[in-house]
C-alpha cells in the first residue's frame, strides 16, 4: 500500500483535527461572543435587575421544558447492552488433523472421491491458509469417516464443544446458570429435536421461564445475528437481565462424499469450534459495551440467495455448494453494510469527505473516483470472519488494512480453520492474548453468511482481560506465523 507524501499527510491531519473537533472550534467563538454581549448589559446588579423583570411563568418554562425533554429522552432511549465475558472451545490435540491425515482419510471414501478430487483437495489445502493443527470432531477420525457421522455422534460433538465452552464461561464470569434469563443459540446445519437450546436448558437446569431461541440455516454470520437478537431482548428487559449467546457449527453429519469441486470446499475449510458470550443490560463486571449491530441481507437477489446453497449433487450426495461468484457477492454485501455502518462510527472528517465524493460523482456523472472511508479512524481492532484466505484478502484490500490489522483473522484461520459463526470470538481472543486490547479501544466484527448476509458489530472495551489466554493458551507464543506468499496471494 503506497503511503501519501508527508505534506498530504500533514494537511489531512490538520483537516481531521479541525473537522472532528468542529463543536469546540465553533463553541469557543460563540462563548466569547456571549460573554461580550453579557458585558454590554452593564454590571451584574443591572443584569440581575433585568432578569427580575421577566415573568415567573417564562422563567419556569425556560427551566422546565429542557429538563422535561432531557427526562423523556433518557426514559425512551434503548438500554445499553454489555458483554460480561466470552469463552471459546479449546480444541484438544487428539482431534488434530494434519493435511496428511485429512487426505489419507479422504482416500478411504468410496470411488466417488477419485484421484482427481484428491488432487484438488490437496491443492486447496495448500492454498487455504489453514495450518497443521486444525481439528475435526471425533467421528471424522474414523475410517471411512462418513459411516460414523450419525445423529448420536453429532449430539456428542455438541456435548464436547458447547458444554465445555459454557463450563468455562460460567467459571470465568461467576454467574450461575440459574441467573440466565435469555438463551440464543445458532447452529446452521444441525437442527435436532429437541433443539440445541433445549439441550443447554436440560444440561444446566435453567429456569422454566427462560426465553430461548435456536437460529438455524443462517451460516457463518449467525453469531452476530444472535448478538443482535439478544441485544433487542435485553433493551426491553429489566436491568440486570443476562443473555447467553452460543455460536457453533456441528460439522459431524455434514461430510460431503461426492466429487463436485464447489461442494468439496467446505470439507477442506470447516473445522470444529464454538464460542459462548454472556451479555447483560447492566454494566456490572462488563468488559465490553455493544455500540452498534448492522445487518445487511441481499437474499432478494437470486445469485446472492444461491451462492451458498445446501443441495444434492447428481449422485444424491448432500453438501454445501459455494458458488464461484461468492467473493463478488460478498464484496457487494460488504459495501452495503459499511454504507450503513459508516454514519454510526466514522468521525465527521471522514463523513464529510464521503459526502463530498458522493456529490461530485453525481455532478460529474460518475467520472469522479469514489472515496472509500478510512475505517481505521473509527476502530482500533478488526475481526474479519476467517472464512478463508480469499475473504480476508478481499476485506484487507477493500478497507485498506495493514497486515497487523488482519493478523488476528489470518492466525485464527491458520490455527483453528473456519469455525463458522464462532471465528470472530477466536480472533477477539487472539487480540487479547497478545495484550493489544486497551481500555476505550474500539473493535469491529464483520461476518458473512448464507442468504447472503453481511453483518457487523461495533464494541468498545471497558476492561481488558486479566487472563486472556483462552483458546490460545498453548499456542499464542508461536504466533504470528509467516504465511508463504503462495498462500496469501
Residue 312 lies in a domain: yes
Q: Please indicate, yes or no, if residue 133 is contained in any of the structural domains.
A: yes
Cα distances from 362 to residues 12, 334, 371, in angstroms, run 24, 22, 13
Percent of the chain residues topping a pLDDT of 70: 82
**Residue 40: inside a domain:** no
With contact defined as beta carbons under 8 Å apart, do 135 and 97 qualify? Answer: yes
CA dihedral 294→297→298→300, nearest 10 degrees, is -140
Strand runs labelled E in 330-476: 381-384, 442-449, 453-461
Which residue is associated with the grid cell 504465511?
A: 483
Q: How many distinct helices (H) and strands (E) make up the chain?
A: 18, 11
- C-beta of residue 223 within 8 angstroms of C-beta of residue 83: no
**Is 69 contained in some domain?**
no
Q: How far apart are CA 337 and CA 449, in angstroms?
A: 13
Q: Does residue 158 belong to any structural domain of this protein?
A: yes
Tell me whether strands 288-297 and 453-461 are parallel, antiparallel or unpaired. Answer: antiparallel
* pLDDT, tens digit, 9 for 90 and up, residues 56-99: 776 667 676 777 776 665 555 678 999 999 999 998 888 999 99
Is position 141 within any domain?
yes
Q: What is the pLDDT of residues 125-148, one digit of tens each?
A: 988 999 999 999 988 888 776 667
Q: H/E element holding 319?
A: strand 318-322
Q: Is the pLDDT of residue 439 over 70?
A: yes
pLDDT of residue 461: 97
Nearest to 91 by CA among 47, 151, 136: 136
Task: Give yes or no for residue 34 having a pLDDT over 90.
Answer: no
Which structural domain, as residue segments, surrounds residue 445? 81-488
Q: What is the DSSP letter of 162?
A: I
Give the integer Cα–Cα distance in Å for 462 and 451: 34
Cell of 158: 455438541
CA distance 458 to 345: 8
Q: By three-state DSSP, how is residue 71 classified?
A: helix
**pLDDT band with cut points at 50, 70 and 90 for residue 480:** very high
- Is residue 485's pLDDT more than 70? no
Angle CA(100)–CA(103)–CA(106) in degrees, nearest 5? Answer: 150
Judge whether 248 lies within some domain: yes
- Report the DSSP pairing between strands 318-322 and 308-312: antiparallel
Q: Are residues 181 and 242 in contact, defined by beta-carbon separation less than 8 angstroms?
A: yes
Domain count, the chain: 1
Angle between helices 348-363 and 6-20 (to 10 degrees): 110
- Predicted confidence at residue 119, as pLDDT, reads 87
Rounded CA separation 149/233 (Å)? 36
Q: Which CATH number do you get for residue 319?
A: 3.40.47.10
CB 386 within 8 A of CB 395: no
Q: What is the pLDDT of residue 487?
A: 46
Confidence class for position 6, pLDDT limits 50, 70, 90: low
Q: What is the pLDDT of residues 214-271, one digit of tens each?
A: 999 998 999 999 999 999 999 999 999 999 999 999 999 888 888 888 898 998 999 9
Q: In this structure, is residue 8 part of a structural domain?
A: no
Give the C-alpha separation, 154 to 189, whole Å: 11
pLDDT tens for each residue of 284-342: 999 999 999 999 999 999 999 999 999 999 888 889 999 888 999 999 999 899 989 98
Across the chain, mean pLDDT equals 86
Amino acid at each position: 500500500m503506497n503511503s501519501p507524501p508527508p505534506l498530504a499527510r500533514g494537511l489531512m491531519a490538520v483537516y481531521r483535527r479541525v473537522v472532528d473537533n468542529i463543536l469546540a472550534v465553533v463553541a469557543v467563538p460563540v462563548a466569547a461572543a456571549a460573554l461580550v454581549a453579557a458585558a454590554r448589559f452593564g454590571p451584574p446588579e443591572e443584569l440581575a435587575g433585568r432578569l427580575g423583570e421577566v415573568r415567573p411563568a417564562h422563567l419556569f418554562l425556560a427551566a422546565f421544558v429542557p429538563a422535561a425533554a432531557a427526562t423523556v429522552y433518557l426514559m425512551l432511549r434503548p438500554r445499553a447492552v454489555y458483554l460480561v465475558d466470552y469463552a471459546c472451545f479449546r480444541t484438544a490435540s487428539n482431534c488434530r488433523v494434519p493435511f496428511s491425515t485429512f487426505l489419507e482419510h479422504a482416500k478411504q471414501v468410496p470411488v466417488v472421491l477419485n484421484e482427481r478430487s484428491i488432487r484438488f483437495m490437496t491443492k486447496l489445502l495448500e492454498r487455504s491458509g489453514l495450518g497443521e493443527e486444525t481439528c475435526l470432531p471425533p467421528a471424522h477420525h474414523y475410517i471411512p469417516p462418513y459411516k460414523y457421522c450419525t445423529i448420536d455422534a453429532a449430539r456428542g460433538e455438541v456435548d464436547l464443544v458447547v458444554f465445555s465452552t459454557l463450563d468455562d464461561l460460567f467459571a470465568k464470569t461467576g454467574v450461575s446458570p440459574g441467573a440466565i434469563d435469555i438463551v440464543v443459540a445458532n447452529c446452521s446445519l444441525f437442527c435436532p429435536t429437541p433443539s440445541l437450546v433445549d439441550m443447554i436448558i436440560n444440561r444446566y437446569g435453567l429456569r422454566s421461564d427462560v426465553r430461548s431461541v435456536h437460529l438455524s440455516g443462517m451460516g457463518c454470520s449467525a453469531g452476530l445475528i444472535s448478538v443482535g437478537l439478544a441485544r433487542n431482548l435485553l433493551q426491553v428487559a429489566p436491568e440486570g437481565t443476562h443473555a447467553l449467546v452460543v455460536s457453533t457449527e456441528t460439522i459431524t453429519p455434514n461430510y460431503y462424499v461426492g466429487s463436485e469441486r464447489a461442494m468439496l470446499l467446505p470439507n477442506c475449510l470447516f473445522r470444529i469450534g464454538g464460542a459462548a458470550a454472556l451479555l447483560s443490560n447492566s454494566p456490572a463486571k462488563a468488559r465490553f459495551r455493544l455500540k452498534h449491530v448492522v445487518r445487511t441481507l441481499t437474499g432478494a437477489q437470486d445469485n446472492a440467495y444461491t451462492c451458498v446453497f445446501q443441495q444434492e449433487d447428481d449422485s444424491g450426495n448432500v453438501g454445501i455448494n459455494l458458488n464461484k461468484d461468492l467473493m463478488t457477492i460478498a464484496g457487494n454485501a460488504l459495501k452495503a453494510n459499511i454504507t450503513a455502518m459508516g454514519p454510526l462510527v466514522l468521525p465527521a472528517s471522514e463523513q464529510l469527505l464521503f459526502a463530498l465524493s458522493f456529490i461530485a460523482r453525481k455532478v460529474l456523472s460518475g467520472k469522479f473516483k469514489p472515496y472509500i472511508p478510512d475505517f481505521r479512524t473509527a476502530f482500533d481492532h478488526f475481526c474479519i470472519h476467517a472464512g478463508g484466505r480469499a475473504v480476508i484478502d478481499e476485506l484487507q484490500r477493500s478497507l485498506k488494512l495493514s497486515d497487523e490489522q488482519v493478523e488476528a483473522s489470518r492466525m485464527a484461520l491458520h490455527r483453528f480453520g473456519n469455525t463458522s459463526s464462532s471465528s470472530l470470538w477466536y480472533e477477539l481472543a487472539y487480540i487479547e492474548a497478545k495484550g493489544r486490547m486497551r481500555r476505550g479501544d474500539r473493535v469491529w466484527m464483520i461476518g458473512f453468511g448464507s442468504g447472503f448476509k453481511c453483518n457487523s458489530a461495533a464494541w468498545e472495551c471497558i476492561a481488558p482481560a486479566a487472563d486472556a489466554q483462552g483458546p490460545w493458551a498453548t499456542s499464542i507464543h508461536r504466533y504470528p506465523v509467516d504465511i508463504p506468499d503462495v498462500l496469501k496471494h
